[in-house]
Amino acid sequence: MYQYRRRFTREVVFGTIALGGYQPIRVESMTNTHTMDTVATVEQCRRLYAAGCEIIRLTVPTEKDAENLGNIRKQLRRDGIDTPLVADIHFSARAALKAVEFVENIRINPGNYASTPKFSTNEYTEEEYLNEIEHVRQEFAPLVEKARQYGVSMRIGTNHGSLSDRIVSRYGNSPEGMVEAALEFARFCEEAGYYDILFSMKSSNVRVMIQAYRLLVQEADAELRYAYPLHLGVTEAGDGDEGRIKSAMGIGALLEDGLGDTIRVSLTEDPVNEVPVGFAIVKKYNEFHLVNGDRGHIPLKHVIESRHKQANHTLSTHELPPFSPFSYQRRASSQIALAGMAIGGDNVPRVETEVHASLSARDVVFEETLQRLAPKKPQDAIRSEFVSVRVNSAADLDALDELLGRLGEERRLVVASTSDLSLFGRLLDKVSKVRFDIIEGERFENELLQLVNNERLAAVELCFLHEKSGYSVPARVLVHLAEKLYRRNVHRLLFSVQSDHVVFVYRRLVQAFKSSSLNYPLLVRFKGDASDRLETLIKSSVQTGTLFCDGIGDMLSLNTTLSFDDEVDLAFNILQGARIRMSKTEFISCPGCGRTYFELEKAVAAIKQRTAHLKGLKIGIMGCIVNGPGEMADADFGYVGAGKNRISLYVGRQCVEENIPEQEAVERLISLIREQGKWVDPV
Ligand code: SF4
């Protein structure tokens, strides 16, 4: 939890490639064509191959689709495309048994493979429960045997929204239930002496997804014979920036933990778009791998020795994470007021951005500040709540006075930053917050402590500029200052570290604060200079999103190369992805696959256009009725494909309108939202 170390897993073969062990983290995608449509599917596989996709998954709803995998495979191999293929199976054991003949890996869903649905969650006697496990074991055994015979590996792919009735009856719809569902199938595999397996634990809720994977690793590594690889993904992440941000947050948080051997970014878009996003997410970790050397195939003996070492390592108090890795609990912090807004405590995290223009360019800085604060927008619209200006000289102080005068009412939302102590002292009576930047190695302590007290207008943010020092240096410096100020009863304080790699430094800071019983609010500050937009989205989402998903952070500030609007949207998307601040409608949409029989991407665009202003509402837009209703988990309303150009509408988990024509469905959804009293007119 405090520095990057990749979990060492058993290497599992996927045809011409392998994953796990010291192999690079692989990038997978999935076709959304009908698998019976050979021409369209081969063409999409060809495009995925050209985009660099390393593993291609195809949906296999029936035995006939499984048969057709043979034709698809033949054409791809004939054209020199040797990308490993994965058959995605839900429900049908017959389809699975046939598909094994044509693929390198088979994915089964423990929630629906050979389970008998009971449509009830609390009516299993112990005997019924055990009988059902035995039934599943017997149904599953032939697949394991055939996979072994054909040299095919298997992913035990659990989804939060599709656990079996039996598992839900005992564990609820929880990470614990997801883990147990996966472990049951892994036990069957190990009992049969079949070890070519990997796991996934997906959910559309990023926090649940992170917790489920961590819990699986803890439980599986304690019980199973090998540390099996992990396939990471956030399901139903949606499209556009939101889909990319959510995926980066969930996958990236786990990669930072050292977990994950292959990933899939699920977007409700052309699957080819998923590939560059996937590579952008794994880049940093694979570069780390290259730096540390490609040691090739790892013998099993080595795997077992490494497992024993990991299992016997007991964590010291200082190594324990300063938050629960398996359940969400926000870090308790004290509350302070900034310009009439409450920060810390149970309040939603606030967003601050920084003006790029220099104060000496007076008109430019005025315009930029206005744009960032967007004063013409309604109060609860997405906008930067605080805007920070940089003060480097006495002339800047004059320019700041002029800026504040020109801004009128909005001046209270302007905050300032400096690394000069004399300027810092003069700023404390001008704005509502002043950030003092601590540069490593510079002397500042005595003078700073004399200036900070409760009598000044401004709250003080002490920010460590982290560049080259170790991850624990910012924590040592800030805790030392915090303890001194706490003893003097100074309470209008915030702490932060500015870095492009905030996960480990903030975890250490939280740990150190906890040890010293300090609960000052924390502002999570990410500064990145990547010129590439996607790279910026991904880095900032991974770094700051990981912290908010673990309950760390009372404010968020991004300083990137993005435009003002983009940067503010990104900050709010990160907070929404972590489900800590809902500022707009939450869309949960699947990527679509061979089970989709309507225009999913068009529907998503149309629904978003009409409903994006319904703050806090969750709308699921799912490709099929087979998996959709379960997978959209906690959506308030659902728009689900029910057959060729037919849609069913849901309120919560209940289907309220069945099989309505696709052309009428969006209008009907809007009416339904109105009827349920959840509609508000856009401003
Ligand atoms: S919910 Fe979407 S991705 Fe999942 S099986 Fe149905 S159509 Fe395919």
The larger pLDDT score, comparing residue 212 to residue 301, is at: 212
State in Å: Cα 109 to ligand 1 middle: 13
Contacts of 38 by beta carbon, 8 Å cutoff, 6+ apart: 68, 71, 72, 75
Q: In whole angstroms, what is the distance from residue 386 CA to residue 554 CA?
A: 13
Q: CB neighbours of 246 closer than 8 A, spacing ≥ 6?
A: 206, 234, 237, 238, 577
Please determine, for residue 387, whether its predicted confidence score (pLDDT) is greater than 70: yes
Distance CA(160)–CA(206), nearest Å, equals 11
What average pLDDT does this structure show over 257-264? 97
Helix then strand then coil, in percent of the chain rounded to 5, is 45, 20, 40
Tens of pLDDT, residues 40-49 = 999 999 999 9
- Ligand 1 pocket test, pick from 62, 589, 593, 639 with the greatest ligand atom count within 8 Å of Cβ, gives 593
Q: What is the pLDDT of residue 378?
A: 67
Ligand 1 atom closest to residue 596's alpha carbon, by position in its atom list: 7
Helix 175-191 / helix 126-150 crossing angle, nearest 10 deg:
60
Between 626 and 492, residue with greater pLDDT: 492
For residue 570, report the distance from its CA to the centre of ligand 1, in Å: 27
Which residue owns the Cα nearest ligand 1 atom 6?
A: 624
Residue 640 C-alpha to ligand 1 middle, in angstroms?
A: 10
- Closest ligand 1 atom to Cα of 590: 2
pLDDT above 90 coverage of the chain, percent: 79
Does the pLDDT of residue 55 top 70, yes or no? yes
From 12, 573, 546, select the one nearest 251 (Cα to Cα). Answer: 546
Q: Which residues line ligand 1 (CB under 6 A)?
A: 590-593, 595-596, 622-624, 626-628, 631
Cα(61) to centroid(ligand 1), Å: 10
Residues 197, 13 contacting (CB under 8 angstroms): no
Q: What is the reported pLDDT for 115?
A: 73
Ligand 1 centroid, distance to 626 Cα (angstroms): 8
3-state class (DSSP) for residue 41: helix
Using the predicted structure, report yes or no on whether residue 337 has a pLDDT greater than 80.
yes
Q: What is the pLDDT of residue 319?
A: 67
Tell which wins on pLDDT, 616 or 332: 332
Q: Does the pLDDT at position 52 exceed 50?
A: yes
For residue 300, is pLDDT > 80? Answer: no
Span 448-463, average pLDDT: 92
- Identify which of 553, 621, 546, 542 has the alpha carbon closest to the alpha carbon of residue 587: 621
Question: Do the Cβ atoms of 298 and 527 come closer than 8 Å?
Answer: no
Cα-to-centroid distance, 420 and ligand 1 (Å): 57
Residue nearest to atom 7 of ligand 1 (CA): 623
- Count of residues in the chain: 683
pTM attached to this predicted model: 0.93
Q: What is the pLDDT of residue 297?
A: 45
Which one, of 411, 217, 447, lies nearest residue 310 by Cα? 217
Which ligand 1 atom lies nearest to the CA of residue 593?
8
The residue whose CB lies within 8 Å of the most ligand 1 atoms, and thus the one to mutate among 631, 644, 647, 650, is 631
**Concatenated DSSP letters of 290-333:** HHT----PPPHHHHHHHHHHHHHPPPPGGGS-SS-SSS--PPP-
Considering only CA atoms, which residue is closest to atom 1 of ligand 1?
A: 628
Per DSSP, the residues of 362-405 read HHHHHHHHHHHH-TTS-TTSS--SEEEEE--SHHHHHHHHHHHH
Measured from the Cα of 628, ligand 1's closest atom is: 1
The Cα–Cα gap between 39 and 379 comes to 52
Q: How far is residue 498's CA from residue 465's CA, in Å, rounded to a whole number? A: 5
pLDDT of residue 305 exceeding 90: no
Helix or strand run (H / E) with residue 19: strand 17-19
* Of the candidates 254, 300, 255, the residue with the CA atom closest to the CA atom of residue 282: 255
Answer whether 45's CB lies under 8 Å from 31's CB. Answer: yes
32 CA distance to ligand 1 middle (Å): 9
Question: What whole-number percentage of the chain has pLDDT above 70?
Answer: 94
Q: How far is the CA of 69 from the centre of ligand 1 (A)?
A: 19
CA of 647 to the centre of ligand 1 (A): 14
Which atom of ligand 1 is the closest one to the Cα of 641? 7
Whole-number Å distance, alpha carbon 592 to ligand 1 midpoint, is: 5
Give 205's pLDDT tier (boundaries 50, 70, 90).
Answer: very high
> How many angstroms is it from 565 CA to the middle of ligand 1?
33
- Over residues 397-422, the mean pLDDT reads 94
Alpha-carbon distance of 518 to 497, in angstroms, equals: 16
Expressed in angstroms and rounded, the spacing between residue 624 Cα and the centre of ligand 1 is 5
Residue to probe by mutation, ligand 1, list 587, 627, 640, 647, most atoms within 8 Å of CB: 627
Q: In this predicted model, what pLDDT tens digit does every residue of 270-295 receive, in sequence order?
A: 999 999 999 999 999 998 755 544 44
CA dihedral 565, 566, 568, 571 (to 10 degrees): 170
pLDDT recorded at residue 352: 96
- Nearest Cα to 355, choosing from 315, 320, 293, 404? 404
DSSP 204-255: SSHHHHHHHHHHHHHHHHHHSSS---BEE--TTB-SHHHHHHHHHHHHHHHH
Furthest-apart CA pair in the chain: how many Å? 81
Amino acid at 434: V
What span, in angstroms and rounded, lies between the C-alpha atoms of 560 and 434? 20
pLDDT for residue 135 is more than 70: yes
**What is the residue with the minimal CA distance to atom 8 of ligand 1?**
593
Ligand 1 atom at shortest distance from the alpha carbon of 88: 5
Element (H, E) at 606: helix 600-611
Model confidence at 315, pLDDT cuts 50, 70, 90, reads low
Q: Atom 3, ligand 1: which residue's CA is nearest?
A: 592
**596 Cα: distance to centroid of ligand 1 (angstroms):** 7
Sequence-separated (6 or more) residues with CB below 8 Å from residue 343: 335, 336, 337, 350, 494, 521, 554, 555
Inform me whether the pLDDT recorded for 381 exceeds 90: no
pLDDT tens-digit series, residues 11-45: 999 999 999 998 999 999 999 999 999 999 999 99
Asked if residue 192 lies in contact with residue 223, where contact means CB atoms within 8 angstroms, the answer is no
Q: Closest ligand 1 atom, CA of 631?
A: 1
Determine phi and psi for 520, rounding to 5 degrees. -60, 145
pLDDT at 74 exceeding the cut of 80? yes
Q: What is the structure's pLDDT at 162?
A: 84
pLDDT reading at 603 higher than 50: yes
Q: 610-626 pLDDT, tens per residue?
A: 999 898 899 999 999 88
- Chain centroid to Cα 616, Å, comes to 18
Tell me which residue has its CA closest to atom 5 in ligand 1: 627
pLDDT of residue 304: 55
Asked whether the predicted pLDDT for residue 420 surpasses 80, the reply is yes
Average pLDDT of the residues in 414-431: 95
- For a pocket test of ligand 1, which of 59, 88, 650 has the largest count of ligand atoms closer than 8 A to its C-beta? 59
Strands in 123-209 per DSSP E: 153-159, 197-202
Element containing residue 493 per DSSP (H, E)? strand 493-499
Identity of the amino acid at 327? S
